[in-house]
Amino acid sequence: MIYAKSLSLILFNLFLVYTFNSEKKEEPPVTYSKNIRPIISQYCLNCHAGKRPKSKLDLSTYENLKKAIENKNLLLRINNKKRPMPKGGLMPLEKRKLIEKWVNQEFKK
């Protein structure tokens, strides 16, 4: 009888350990400095930085990028197949989705 209770308790504990360890682990947040800045540097800053940024759209800082997304429809522009941004063609989908995720997570620095 004691053996059965002990075995039941052990099995229950194993079940709990397995259940909690098998749950999907939360992904780290998307941040400007770690995730977004490298994308913007690679795909945008050749044209949208410096003394005379194209379309007077300077994306070289966190604040400017956030404003462009909030006020200038930048997300629509980077997803526009007819008028892609960057001009050479749309950036990879996973990069665009990462930017959207960053926006949805409230622009973490």
Rounded Cα–Cα distance for residues 32 and 65 (Å): 10
Q: What is the rounded distance in angstroms from the CA atom of residue 5 to the CA atom of residue 8?
A: 5
d(C-alpha 89, C-alpha 77), whole Å: 11
Q: How many residues are listed for the chain in this entry?
A: 109
Instruction: Give the integer Cα–Cα distance in Å for 29 and 26.
Output: 9
Q: Are 45 and 37 in contact (CB under 8 A)?
A: no
Reading the chain (109 residues) residue by residue, the pLDDT tens digits are 565 555 455 555 555 556 555 556 788 999 999 999 999 999 999 999 999 999 999 999 999 999 999 998 999 999 999 998 888 899 999 999 999 999 999 999 9
CA distance 84 to 90: 5
Element housing 94 (H / E)? helix 93-104
**Tokens describing residue 81:** 């197949």
